[in-house]
Amino acid sequence: MQAQASRNNISSNWQKRRTTMEAIENIQERIGETRSGKVSTLAADLEAERTRLAQTSEAMKDQNARLQAEMQKKQDELISEANAREAALKKALDEERAKAEARQNEAKNRLNELQSKLIQVSQDARGIILSMSDILFDVDKASLKGDLKTSLAKVAGILSVYQELNVSVEGHTDNTGSADHNMKLSEQRAQNVLDFLVEQGIESGRLSAKGLGMNVPIADNATKEGRQKNRRVDLVIQDKALQ
């Protein structure tokens, strides 16, 4: 009986041990599966991250390429605009230079016209002298006659072109009357001419007026014709631009 009980006990223990071993093996198998699954998951995650990084890198390359293309396009546009502005400026300067030359030629033509018709043009150490001796003042008068105004208007047209010119207006008389009277009369003649030029748009700062009385005759005061020539105004142009 004891032997049978002992065998039964051994068999029971062996069965329990076997069950325990199977349980342990099952647990180990599950652990292995779990580890394998985690490794697989980690590997998959790693591969996914690599793929994402590769895609990000490629996207950044594409973005950089687009930015470079945009920058190059903008640079090309700026260069093109600068070249266009430079060309337009050069064209404008050339046109302005041509206009200035045309104005100067026109002024010279006007000067030649004045010289041939109404005004005597000469030159001395003072500069160019426009002498209006043939457009006479009346005796003892300083008022401007119509012909004189016409000539002065043409002179004003020349002065408006040659902005660099400064003009001294000199008034003269014949020897009729006293020296003091003639000095005042010559000053008034010069001032009236200056005022008329200002009315024609010439800046007053470019003009000056003075009277010389009967001290600088250009003809003989002993004759009527000579006295007529001496009743005059001279415009003295200091600049030599018209030579």
Q: Contact at 8 Å (CB) between 139 and 228?
A: no
Pick the closest to residue 138 from 150, 148, 129, 151 (CA basis): 148
What region does 73 belong to: left with phi over 0, alpha with psi -120 to 50, or beta? alpha
CA dihedral sign, ordered 216, 218, 220, 223 = negative
CA 51-57-59 angle, 5° bins: 100
Give the position of tokens 């793929």: 51
Cα 179 from chain centroid (whole Å): 56
pTM: 0.53
pLDDT digit string (tens) for the chain, length 243 residues: 655 666 666 666 667 677 777 767 777 667 666 666 666 777 777 777 788 888 888 888 888 888 888 888 888 888 988 888 888 888 888 888 888 788 767 766 666 665 554 467 777 777 788 887 666 788 888 998 888 888 889 888 888 888 888 999 999 999 999 999 999 999 999 999 999 999 999 999 999 999 999 999 999 999 999 998 899 999 998 764 444
